[in-house]
Structure 1
Amino acid sequence: MPLRIIQVGVGGWGHSWTKLVLNNDLDVELVACVDMSEKALQRVQEDYTLPAQACFTDLKEALKGVDCDAVLVTAGLNAHVPLARIALEHNKHVLVEKPFAPTLEEADSLVKLARERSVHLMVSQNYRFQPTVAAVDALLQEGALGEISTINIDFRRYVNVPRDAYLYYRAWQPLLVDMAVHHFDLMRKLLKQEPQRITCHAWNTSWDQFDDPSSAAATIEFSGGAVVNYRGSWASTSPQTPWNGEWRIECRNGSIEWTGRGDKPADDRTTVYAIGEEGVSLTLPEVPYLDRLGSLATFIQSIESDTEAECSGSDNLGTLALMFAAVKAAQTGTPQSILLPQE
């Protein structure tokens, strides 16, 4: 029997989920959509051939009107917590877009509610599900390169379009919250360590049009001794990187340079350098479900096996804690310790 899903938020990025992710060969069925915009609901009816009676403007009404197993929350950040809470209170599994919640305390409250209701809560950290990430993760777990000392990451994009036509210019912390959260999450996945302390400086260039800082530089200390130097920008005039950024991982016995999730397949590459030797390019593994499809497949598997997903709500608290600490360090100009909520 397919996993029956109600999707909440079908405009913009949510519409992309409906059209490109839910309409796939995974065993799922979109049984209803929820959005405050009648225009957005009309577009879903046309693209997904969803009947009008399966479209709602209120999640509670949708839960009354159709039978479902899970709720996919792809609305804006400020709606994540209230919508997820409604779904959890109705004993539904929840897959929610990143960032998980606007505060760490609210995220933790949902984790505890999901635990109380014995349902699964997962965050779509879709950058995890890429061939380059799988290759680097396997290589590091083999341990042949030895302990990790330093990771240097650069993310560069140049955004310069008419201000009135681009709502993203007014987004809250567009780099540290909306973009770097992907890179923060990959740090935790690959290092298998937790962040302990961060210094961060964030700024706007004279030529960008963002309200909040478009660029940032941070140094992050991890529990196993690794140190990550992160630089990101939405206003860089240097050649752009793939979306994963460009990574250089320095280990005791050599280093790894990798990048991925580019605009072309050739952008995905991983090269290993033994000390004093030329680099060797790795053959990348096949990943059955990429990107957001990987998130959805992992969500389905966790429900079917009744096991915690690798980016469950509980696990994602570490990523959120790092993200919020980065923002606070940048705003205050002082280093921040990274603490998880108490049980």
Structure 2
Amino acid sequence: MTVRIIHVGLGGWGGNWARTAIPQVTEVEVVGLVDPVPATLDAVREDLGLPASAAFASLTEALAGVEADAVVITAPAVTHVPLALEALEAGKHVLVEKPFANSTDEALTAVRRAEELGLVLQVSQNYRWYPAPRAVQDLLAAGELGELSAISIDFRQWDNDQPVETYPHYRFPHPMINDMAIHHFDLLRMITGKEAVRVYARASYPSYSKYQDEAVTSMIIELEDGLVVSYRGSWLSRAPRTAWAGEWSIQGEDGEIWFTSRDGSPSEVAGDRVTLRADQDAEAEPVELPTLEHTDRQGGLQAFARSVEGGPAPETSGRDNLRSLALMEAAGRSAASGRPEDVVLPE
């Protein structure tokens, strides 16, 4: 069975989804495209070779105009939950870009409705679908380091040269925490299998920053077993840049795992690296990485299609993603309050 999808939101990253990610997954077929900007809609439709009858200005029109099984949402974040709810009410499964929502309370409305209707609701946490974090997850699950003592995560990029008037990233709400650190929060949960209970975040606002909200943030994250994670993230770093998944040092009783992931263009895996050392004086030994059928968004999309067809529930289901979102939300509260904040799931 091929899962027929309506794709909503074709500008910027959504256009990249349409042209480079979705076509690589044979388990899905695009039957409808949605975007309110006619030029954007026509450009993507023509690039994909779809007829004019497959193009719509709204999801409402698309749901009425084509037969589909699911909806993929890559529109702006503020529209994620309203669009997801509309799709769910029409009986469609939903895959939505991250961040799922800007609050856990809003996200929970969609999670509950999907569960009531028996439909798949998945969040695209694409950084999970790379070989390095998969290898690290397996190493930690096997107890390779024994008892863990500390984790440190560093993310460094310079993104401050574009014109303020035309570069939307500078206006993204909380670009360090909500747009970037959400990836690292989700990876932290994935590789450790542990949940965060408390976070202390401090953001800084250099005078030369073009961002309207925080672009530099440091955090201390406490996990449920008391393990402390140190996080440093910056869009304004002049230090050597990291890969998009950052640089991780995971330390334990029996050694250290170091890894990095998602370097270069989306889906490239050449920059994925994992090393293992037994002690401070030992050489770091490279770890062999698994080969994945699909990486990045394609890996998540394939998992989504298989869930729709009756396979396992997606590991980044809306229900599971509430925990990544709750950590993001607590970090934002802490950055604003200047105090440690508990990670609270909505009732």
TM category (shorter chain) comes to: over 0.9
Give the CA deviation at 1:265. 4.8
Give the CA deviation at 1:45. 1.7
Q: Distance in 2 between matches of 1:306 and 1:111?
A: 19
Q: Distance in 1 between matches of 2:144 and 2:196?
A: 24
Match of 1:46 in 2: 46
- Counterpart of 1:311, as a letter, is T
- Counterpart of 2:242, as a letter, is T
- Counterpart of 2:115, as a letter, is R
SS at match of 2:309: helix
Match of 1:226 in 2: 227
- Counterpart of 1:141, as a letter, is A
Query: Structure 1 residue 295 and structure 2 residue 300: aligned?
Result: yes
Identity %: 45
Q: Distance in 1 between matches of 2:26 and 2:194?
A: 32
Task: Kindly report the root-mean-square deviation, in angstroms, between the aligned alpha carbons of the 2 structures.
Answer: 1.1
Aligned equivalent of 2:318, options 309, 313, 317: 313
For the Cα contact (< 8 Å) 2:134–2:191, is it kept in 1? no
Q: Distance in 2 between matches of 1:63 and 1:250?
A: 50
- Counterpart of 1:293, as a letter, is Q
- Counterpart of 1:40, as a letter, is T
Query: Structure 1 residue 79 and structure 2 residue 79: aligned?
Result: yes
Query: Structure 1 residue 324 and structure 2 residue 325: aligned?
Result: no
For the Cα contact (< 8 Å) 1:149–1:225, is it kept in 2? no
SS at match of 2:36: coil
Q: Distance in 1 between matches of 2:144 and 2:269?
A: 27
Q: Which residues of 2 match residues 247-262 of structure 1 at below 5 A? A: 247-262=248-263
Q: Distance in 2 between matches of 1:266 and 1:94?
A: 31
Match of 1:171 in 2: 172
1:28-58 C-alpha deviation (Å, 9 max, x unpaired): 1100011111011111121101111111111
Long gaps (5+) in structure 2: none
Q: Distance in 2 between matches of 1:150 and 1:302?
A: 35
- Counterpart of 1:272, as a letter, is L
For the Cα contact (< 8 Å) 1:35–1:58, is it kept in 2? yes
1:120-161 C-alpha deviation (Å, 9 max, x unpaired): 000000000001011111111111311222110000000122
SS at match of 2:106: helix
Aligned equivalent of 2:272, options 265, 268, 275: 268
Cα 1:6–1:95 shift into 2, 3 Å: same
Cα 1:214–1:25 shift into 2, 3 Å: closer
Instruction: Name the TM-score, length of structure 2 as normaliser.
Output: 0.96
Match of 1:37 in 2: 37
Cα 1:266–1:291 shift into 2, 3 Å: closer
Match of 1:105 in 2: 105
Match of 1:281 in 2: 286
1:62-83 C-alpha deviation (Å, 9 max, x unpaired): 1111100000000000110110
Aligned length: 342
- Counterpart of 1:198, as a letter, is V
Match of 2:236 in 1: 235
Which segment drifts farther, 287-296 or 271-280? Answer: 271-280
1:264-289 C-alpha deviation (Å, 9 max, x unpaired): 75432111011242211111110110
For the Cα contact (< 8 Å) 2:222–2:229, is it kept in 1? yes
Instruction: Name the TM-score, length of structure 1 as normaliser.
Output: 0.97
Long gaps (5+) in structure 1: none
Match of 1:160 in 2: 160
1:207-249 C-alpha deviation (Å, 9 max, x unpaired): 2211101000000001122211000000001010000100000
SS at match of 1:297: helix
